[in-house]
Structures are given as structure tokens and as C-alpha cells.
Amino acid sequence: MLGRLRPLIPYLLLAPGIAWLTVFFLFPMFTLARTSLQAGTLETGFRFVWEWRNYTDSLDRFQEQFVRSFRYAATATVLAFIIGYPLAYAIAFRAGRYKNALLFLVIMPFFTTYLIRTLAWQTILSDQGDVLSALSAIGAMDVLDALGISQNGRLLATPTAVVTAITYNFLPFMVLPIYVSLDRIDRRLVEAAQDLYGGPLRAFLRVVFPLSLPGVFAGSLLTFIPATGDFINAEILGSPKTRMIGNVIQSRFLEVSDYPWAAALSFILLAMILAAVLVYARLLGTEELTG
């Protein structure tokens, strides 16, 4: 009995996952796709009429926000990499018995909700707050103003605040995958490199870093993708001049109730992110990424 069923077992095991994806991914996507081609208004109702103009018109109108979202997300991803890689490296190779404690600290911010963490920055960076008072007391704000990092002696409601907060919020997503891939590296490979007269830098660049690329790839996607669609940071710490495409989609769905445009914008964003990821994967070399 069981013998005849054996070939089916993989499919049976897959069934819950496939059912889940069908119900919670494919079906909503299909609905969203239909919505994106509707025309009409809330009061008269929306009808499905293959309204392709939703795509061209909305893209045309919100080009600026699209560009801004990708710029902010890319900057945040690079920053998260610059901060996250040394951190992951230190935890993997140098932390010794503090490894678990440090990993715990990396995840710790997640014990507070995303929204509250972001709101906290509103208080920290407040124009009248201690941080800004201290910075302006030592004249740092003038320097930051001159560099274009702050505006008129304030950090809130500037692109800096938004990008910094995105970096902060997604940093753990960068650190953890990099840590995992670094931790997996066989230390003997590093020793071998040194035995072959590779200095520490050469050993890192030729052995450790290439082996950690899958982690870097995973980490940057986990940071970049949600950062592009993020709206909370820009909403809470930004100004009308820092609105990202996520803000536009959020307000189209929930405030304007313009579902077709919101859906069309979501699909455009999806396509753009997909394209960006494919280009990135190609640049990094796909064979490196399978680990």
C-alpha cells in the first residue's frame, strides 16, 4: 500500500505549501492584476475594461517617487552593507564566547514593533532634542548643513533621516545572512591561504569575501526589496519632498480609494524590483550564489 504511494510523497509534502501560495499569493496577485486594469470611480464602481492607461499614466505621474525610492533603497542597502559586513565578520570570527550574545543584540530591536522603533527616532532626532542641541553646540550642525546632510539645522524631515532610518530598520536583515555564510567558512581555507603567502588582506579578498557572497546577495536583497516599498520611514521621518512610492501606493489604496492606480503602481514596482534583482544577480554571477 505504502509502496505504491511512495512516489506521491514529495507532492503530498508540497501540498500545504502549494495550497498556501495559491490562496495567499496567486489569488491576491490575480485580483490585483485585474484591479490594475479597471476603470471607474469609487461611487460609480470599478469595471474591468483592460485599462492599460493606468500603467502609463500612473508611472508618468509618479516617476519622481519611483526614482527616489530606488535611490533611497540603494543608498540604505550600501550603508547597511558597509556597517553590517564588518559587524557580521567580527561576530563570526572574533566574538568567541560572546557570539550568541552579540547575535541576540542584533535581533533585539525586533522585540519592539517596527512602528515604535521608527517613532523613537522622531524623538531622538527632534529639533529641540538633546542630540541636535549637542551637535549644534559643538558646531557640527553647521558642517552637516554645509554638506547637505541636514537642512536649516534640523535632521528630521530630511532625506538623511529617512535613509538613515531605513538603514537602521533593515540592518539585521543584512547582518544575519552575511554572518551565516561567514560562519560556514572552513577556517582551514584561510590558514591555507596564509600558508601560501597570502597576507591577511589577500586572504580576505581572495578567500573569505568570495565565499561570503551568497550571504551578501541574500542580505542585500532582504534589505533592498522591502526598503524600496517602504512607506513608514518616509511618512514618519520625512517631508512631502521625501515621499517614496510606498507612500503613494498606501495613500492611493487607503486615502484616495483609487484602487486601479494603486494596483498598477504596485505591479510597476514589482516589475522594477524584479529587473533590478536580475541585473544584480547577473553582475554578481549566479553560480556564486548557490553557495
Partner 1 sequence: MRTVDPNWKRWWTRRITRRRLIRGTALGAAGLAAAAAVGCDDDGTPGQTPSPGQTPTQAPLEALSISNWPYYIDADTIADFQDEMGVSVSYTQDIGDNDEFFAKIREPLSRGQGIGRDIVVFTDWMAGRMIRLGYVQELNKANIPNWENMRADLKNVAFDTGRKYSLVWQSGLTGIGYNPKLTKRELKSVNDIFDPAFSGHVTMLTEMRDTIGLVMLGLGKDPATATVADAQAAVDKIQPFVDNGHIRAFTDNSYADDLARGDVWAAFAWSGDVVQLQLDNPDLVFLTPDEGMMLWSDNMMIPIGAEHKEEAEAFMNYVYDPAHQAQIEAYIQYIPPVEGTKEAIAEIDESLVDNPLIFPDAATLAQANVFKPLEEEEERQFNELFLALTG
**Binding region for partner 1 (CB under 8 A):** 28-29, 32, 41-45, 65, 115, 119, 122-123, 126-128, 151-152, 154, 156-157, 226, 229-232, 236, 238-241, 243, 246-251, 253-257, 266, 270
Least Å distance, CB 189 to partner 1, is 39
Least Å distance, CB 175 to partner 1, is 22
Residues contacting 152, CB < 8 A, separation 6+:
145
Least Å distance, CB 275 to partner 1, is 16
Q: Which is nearer to partner 1, 95 or 272 (CB)?
A: 272
Q: Which is nearer to partner 1, 72 or 89 (CB)?
A: 72
Least Å distance, CB 272 to partner 1, is 13
E-assigned strands of the chain?
A: 38-41, 45-48
Q: Which is nearer to partner 1, 16 or 45 (CB)?
A: 45
Buried b (16+ CB within 10 A) or exposed e, 87-118: bbbebbeeeeeebeebbeebeeeeeeeeeebb
Q: Which is nearer to partner 1, 75 or 122 (CB)?
A: 122
Least Å distance, CB 270 to partner 1, is 6
Residues contacting 66, CB < 8 A, separation 6+:
59, 245, 268, 269, 272
- Name the 3-class secondary structure at 199: coil
Residues contacting 81, CB < 8 A, separation 6+:
174, 216, 219, 220
Please answer whether residues 65 and 78 qualify as being in contact, where contact means their C-beta atoms are separated by less than 8 angstroms.
Answer: no
Q: Which is nearer to partner 1, 43 or 287 (CB)?
A: 43
Burial class (CB in 10 A: 0-12, 13-18, 19+), 138: exposed
Least Å distance, CB 258 to partner 1, is 9
Q: Which is nearer to partner 1, 212 or 233 (CB)?
A: 233
Residues contacting 33, CB < 8 A, separation 6+:
263, 267
